[in-house]
Structure 1
């Protein structure tokens, strides 16, 4: 049963370094037993925020509560949190059992109790019987699980993870996404995970906070953040998107007609954009929202349709990434399923791109 008190609450949290504000009035809650990711580019403030939660840095202002208790002024070793670092920080001179039991020894737990708890936690992370092995005898994924076991044996209320998959190769990262989510569910422990990799956040998280310049631009479930981004930054950072500069030519209720800088016309349904005729806009359109056709026959009358020339076709497994140059010379990226009937598509092919006006997202143009 979910606790009525969130495991973690940050209220108006701010961190200044001299005149630079790294974290700018951030507020959020993380329910017990959930996977919460903080996603953003390098330098956006996410690591500073995580270090404040861990107690390694003190906030300039605001409050931070774990299990309803303020952590302001509480040192790291007195907080009910543990942290997994990007480079894991396992001790190479200790065997696996001693690495996992290190925190328990620091707390004065007896030797037999440490042995019991270490064996139990290693079994729970899928590594039974490895306590006597050396760190260099384990694979990268096994080391990740040892680092998590070393934290979880302390039974923290919140586990903090600082880009723990960043040093792994691509195939192992994909595997560890599933592993981490499974471990989080197994332990029913609150995970706070920071990353600059949107695929990690989308796959594992119950909720994602997208951070930019020290602020949260949006918090929500992965599906909501991906399909209904609140800002142009979120639309461009989370997932791939075609970005098109345009000007509002006319508005008919929620249906806006826009004209691109090259003079092409398109329609977008954007009920809450706040844009008026004559204002500049940014249109974001996911590659998977665009269809391809060899003719206009059968295409809906309300769709945006443009003739173009294929300039590249890149096979990447389940999909092909197709680039089409439209009549204005603008490149358009299309994610094309292999089952789409375009097996013979080649550079130079003439095609029509088409997309529903409801599939795009519209925002005011960025200030110059």
Structure 2
């Protein structure tokens, strides 16, 4: 009996390259996006993520490599012939058209009959939670409603892949937080593959099934939000995704996978090296999440095996559910600690004596740039 044929990913990129004269914006990027998944490309401005998205959409031609949708190469296929739709940051809704006409615009361009357009527009507006707005004007809707109209305009075309180019960037903070949940809910409801680009780590972490972290035209890591956050594979990922204390140090000893490091100020700490074990004498960068650090009263006992430093409180910033505390150790180094309001330090003040404690397996350590 012949083996069952595997369904190809909705999107495949194979060694994709984009050159602008002597500048390489996208450098041999390869990845797959399975059907019905939410895939985010996360990176700083100028890393190449928008260029990559524009190649997927067909607005720019690759300089090399291949790009397939549903197993079919899209090289040379114009944008209007690709089974993709795109939501832009500024939405690009037509202010002179009502909502129904905005949503049905692409169908009219394809020559779909008026009766079918009306039916499909009504259905898709209901699915995005806007069943009675077809006759309203764009300026009569809230920012979140306009966002859903922009998605409806794309989804009515039944694309295999929906591309989203930082669509929440123009929204205020509270609405942006709300739309994170809405977008993920809509993606699940339509079961359509979303490819989402952003420089906002919180958007990627909240919504994505998988995240590709991009830097200087390359993917540094592809993984689940949990893996990217808790097991970053490179120093760039550790520093870019989430908050982290970055500590410059040097490896002074390596024993059975445990590294001992010394900071520039002379503080000593131990880190589980695992597969990142570095040789003695190697300059290193250590990344430690603020929430991985426990704050203890001065003189209090710390858990066995923990790294411990005595210090004094420099700043306390109240953030609602928790506070951000900066502690200066006796060598002059600074650590940022995420302190829950239930942690027993409700009246913590600048100058208070405290101890910081963290376990050796809580930090990530990498060779310093240029080391080795």
With the shorter chain as reference, the TM-score category is: over 0.9
What corresponds to 1:30 in structure 2?
33
Which secondary structure does the structure 2 equivalent of 1:192 belong to?
strand
Which secondary structure does the structure 1 equivalent of 2:122 belong to?
helix
What corresponds to 2:258 in structure 1?
255
Which runs of at least 4 in structure 1 moved beyond 2 Å after TM superposition?
A: 295-298
- List alignment gaps of at least 5 residues for structure 1: none
Which secondary structure does the structure 2 equivalent of 1:272 belong to?
helix
Q: How does 1:14-93 map to 2 (within 5 A)?
A: 14-93=17-96
What corresponds to 1:133 in structure 2?
136
Q: Assess if the C-alpha contact under 8 Å between 1:248 and 1:259 holds in 2.
A: yes
Q: Assess if the C-alpha contact under 8 Å between 2:84 and 2:161 holds in 1.
A: yes
1:295 CA displacement: 3.3
**For residues 208 and 344 of structure 2, what CA distance do their matches in structure 1 show?**
34
1:297 CA displacement: 3.3
Q: Assess if the C-alpha contact under 8 Å between 1:44 and 1:212 holds in 2.
A: yes
Q: Assess if the C-alpha contact under 8 Å between 2:261 and 2:268 holds in 1.
A: yes
1:173 aligns with 2:185: no
1:221 aligns with 2:201: no
1:356 aligns with 2:348: no
What corresponds to 1:241 in structure 2?
244
**For residues 147 and 102 of structure 2, what CA distance do their matches in structure 1 show?**
12
Which secondary structure does the structure 2 equivalent of 1:203 belong to?
helix
**127, 142, 146: which one pairs with 1:143?**
146
Q: TM (normalized to structure 1)?
A: 0.98
Higher alpha-carbon deviation: 298-307 or 30-39: 298-307
C-alpha deviations, 1:42-100, integer Å up to 9, x for none? 00000000000000000000000000000000000000000000000000110000000
1:185 aligns with 2:188: yes
Which secondary structure does the structure 2 equivalent of 1:339 belong to?
coil
Q: How does 1:93-108 map to 2 (within 5 A)?
A: 93-108=96-111
**For residues 299 and 262 of structure 2, what CA distance do their matches in structure 1 show?**
21
C-alpha deviations, 1:209-264, integer Å up to 9, x for none? 00000000000000000000000000000000000000011111111110001111
Q: Assess if the C-alpha contact under 8 Å between 2:254 and 2:277 holds in 1.
A: no
Q: How does 1:261-340 map to 2 (within 5 A)?
A: 261-340=264-343
**For residues 66 and 359 of structure 1, what CA distance do their matches in structure 2 show?**
40
**For residues 296 and 165 of structure 1, what CA distance do their matches in structure 2 show?**
47
**For residues 300 and 87 of structure 2, what CA distance do their matches in structure 1 show?**
56
RMSD: 0.9
What corresponds to 1:206 in structure 2?
209
1:187 CA displacement: 0.1
**For residues 112 and 282 of structure 1, what CA distance do their matches in structure 2 show?**
63
Say if 1:297 and 1:310 are closer, same or farther in 2 by CA, change over 3 A: closer
Q: TM (normalized to structure 2)?
A: 0.97
- List alignment gaps of at least 5 residues for structure 2: 1-5
